[in-house]
Structure 1
Amino acid sequence: MAAASCLLTEDQFLCSICLSVFTDPVTTPCGHNFCKNCITEHWDINVPCLCPVCKEVFYTRPELRVNTLISEMAAQLRHEVQQKTNSSSSELQRATSEDVCCDICTGTKLKALKSCLVCLSSYCETHLEPHLTVTGLKKHQLISPVENLQGRICMKHDKPLELFCKTDQTCVCMLCMVLDHRTHDVVPLKKEYEEKNAELEKTESEIQQMIQRRRLKIQELKHSVNQSNKDADREIAEGVQVFTALRESVDRGLAEFTEMIKDKQRPTKKQAEGLIIELEQEILDLMKRSNELEQLSCSEDHLQFLQSFLSLKDAPPTKDWTDVSVRPPSYEGTVVTAVVELEKKLRKDIKNVFKVELKRVQQYAVDVTLDPETANPWLILSGDGKQVTFGDVNKNLQDSSSRFSYYASVLGKQSFTTGRFYYEVQVKGKSKWDLGVARESVNRKGQITLNPLNGYWTVSLRNGNEFKALADPCVRLSLKSKPEKMGVFVDYEEGLVSFYDVDAATLIYSFTGCSFTEKLYPFFNPCNNDGGKNSDPLVICPVQNHSELVH
C-alpha cells in the first residue's frame, strides 16, 4: 500500500469540495471521487445533481458507495503525513523556499519569526533575542516576517513609510508629509488601518447578509418549482378524470392534453434552475471574497493590509434579487379549451365536461356583499347586502367619488389583487342586466361605456333574450337556454374572466389575455324596472356545490 501511495501525489487524495484528504471517499458515475458527506451535502442544495468537477448532470440522484481502494490509500497517506509531522516537530525549523529567511544566519538559513521595520531585517528565534532584551531595540516595531522590507522605505527620502495620506490614498514617510503632502490629510498607518479594518468588518457583514438573502431566494425558487409540480400534477389528474368518461373517442385528445400541461410546466422549471445556478455562482463568488476579506482582517501588517485592501475595494455583486421569482403557470381553462376543440365529435358528452369545469372553479368561491357607498341613488339594497333592485325613488344621497351617479350600478365591497375568485348571481325573471368585474379606477360619473378599455369585463342581457359579451367590439352570444343563475370566475394572474350558466353547467364566454394592475371589484347593474318587466332583483347566491368539488 505504501508503494502504491508513493506513485500518487498528495493532491490526488484531496476532495475537490473540502480540499482535505478523503473521508469515506465515493465515486460518481462520471468517475470523480469526493468525501461521501461533502457530495451528499452538495447535492442537498443543488437540483438537479451536478458533478462539481465536470458539471455532468444526474437527473436521478446516484446511489453512492464507499470506494474501498481509495479509502485505504487515503488512510495510509494521512498516517504518513502524521508521522512526518511528529518527527519534524522536535527539530529546529529550517526555512523552505516559501518561508521568510533570517537575514543574520550564515550557512543554513533558518525560518524568520519576526521582521523589524526599523532595522529592515528579519530574524530567527536566536537572532531575535536582542530585540526582546536590549532596551534600545525593544522600541523597534516588530511584525510577522515579510519579504522585501526595502519596499517599506520611501524611495524618495529613504525613510520608513509610517503615515497614510488620505487625500492621495497612498503610504508616505515623515518627510513626504512635510514636503509634498503638508496640506493633505495625513494620519498614522495604525489609525488608517483601524478605520479600514472597521470598514472591512462592515463589508464582511454585508456580504454575509447578501449570501443569506441568496440562500433564502434559492429556497423560495425551489418552493416555487415544487408548487408548480403539484399544480401540474393536479391539473393532469383532473384532465384524466374528465377524459376518462370520453375514453372511447378521446384517447388521442387525452395524450395531447397531458403533453400540453407538461410543456407549460417545463419553462417554469427551466427558468428556476437557471436562476438557482446563477444564485449559487454569486454565492461562490461572495464566499470567495468573504474568505479574502477574512484573511486580510487577520493581518497585523499595516502596510500590507492597506495595499491589499485597495486591491479588494471593488464592489461585490449588486444584482437585486428581491423581485426575482418564478410564477407557476395557471392551468385554469385548459380542460375546457381541449374539450371545445373536440366539440364537433363530442356534442352529446360536452355537458359533462363543463360540469367538471364548473365544479373546479367553484372551489374558489368567495363571499361577496354589495357596497352601499358605491350604489346609484335609485338602487335599493337588501339589509344583508345580497340583493339589489331598481327603486321608484331617487334617494337624493350625498354624492361621493365612489358612487355611480348615472348608471344603476353598484360594486361589491370585496376587492381582489391576486389569485382566483368565483361568485354566483341569480338573474331569474329579469329582462336586462350587466354582470362582471371592474377595476377600482373606473369612471363612475355620467354615461359609461362598459368594455375592457374602460376597466369593465362584463356580459349583458337586453330585451329578454339578447346576450352580449361587452368586449371591444361587442360579441353577440348565442345561448341554447336563458340562464337563471350566472357564475363569474376570475384568475387575476392569468388575466382570465369567465362567465358560466350555473344550472346548465356551460361556459358562456371568457375574456382572456387581460392585464390586471389594480384592485378588481364584482360589478352589478340590475338596470331600470322597464315598466315592471324588470323588477326582480339581482341576488348574490351561496355556492351550493362545495361538498361535490373534484379535488
Structure 2
Amino acid sequence: MASRASEKLACCICLEMFTTPVTIPCGHSFCKECLNSHWDQEEKERPTSQEVYTCPECRKSFSERPQLSKTVQLDTLVELFRAGEGPAPRREKTTALEGKKCPRHGRLLVLYCRTEKRVICCECTVKECQDHMKVLVEDERKNEEEAERLKEETRKMEQQISSVKDSSEKFKSGVLQKFGHLVESLKECQRKAMERIENEQARTLGQMEENWNQVQHQLDAFTQHSQKAEELLACTDNITFLEELHHLPPPGKLDIPPALEFNLASSEEAITQFLNGVSRLFQEALSTSLNPPKSGPKSK
C-alpha cells in the first residue's frame, strides 16, 4: 500500500515524490521546478509568434502560461507521508534507462511510445508523440514481462496438449492392437467350436449311413430270396421244384442296428460355459472399467 501511495504522490516528470506541488487548470499536478523547466524549454524551442504551453501529462494546451501556486493540500499529504513512512521511496526506474536522457531534448527518458516503439522524454510527448499512445516505461516493462509470462504459459500448455495427444494416440494404438488380438482369439474359439460340432455331426451321420447301408443290403437279400421263392412256388413240375428248393438258401436273420442319437450335450455344455464366461467378463468391463468418467480432469 505504501508503494502504491508513493506512486500517486510522484511527479511524472522527475518520477520522485512531489517537491512544492502545483496544479494546473487541467487538474494535473507536478513539482513546481519540473513544470517551470518544461515550459522554459518549450519557450526556447517554439517560434516567438506562438505562445502555447502544454500539460506534460494530458497535453492540454494553454494560450497563456498559467500562474503556479503551491497546492497546499497535496503538499500536506506529501509531508504526512514522509513523516509516517520515513524517506520517500523513489519510483522504480528500469535499470537500463537509469540516468539516460533523450538525445533530442536532453531530458530523462521516462515514457514509452507504443506507436513508434521507442522510449521518449516528457517533451517528446508534446512535440513529436502528441497523438501517440504512451505509457510509463516501468508500466510497459511490466506489460512485456506479463506478456512473456503468458507466452511461456501458452508454450507450456501447447506442450501439454501435444503430450496428451501423443500419449492418447499411443494408448489407442495399443488398445486397438490388443482388441485385434482378442478378436482373433475369439474367431479362433468360434472356429474350433464350429469344428467340434461339425465333427460330431459328421461322425453321427457316418454311423447312420453305415447302418443304413447294412439294413439296405439285408433288405435286398431278403427281396431276392422272396422273388426266387415265389418263382419256385409257381413251378408245376414236382421234380424241378424239389431240385430247385434244395439249392434255395435260407433267407438268413434280419439284423436291425440300434438307433443312433445325435448327442451334443458335452459339446454344448463346454461351449455354453465358455460363452457365458466371456459374456460375463464383457458385461463387467462395460459397467466398470470401460465406462467413461463422469467428470472431467481436475484442474491443478
TM-score (norm: length of structure 1):
0.18
Give the structure with the higher percent helix: 2
- TM-score, with structure 2 as normaliser: 0.30
Higher strand fraction: Structure 1 or Structure 2?
A: 1
Structure with larger RCO (C-alpha < 8 A, sep 6+): 2
Larger-Rg structure: 2
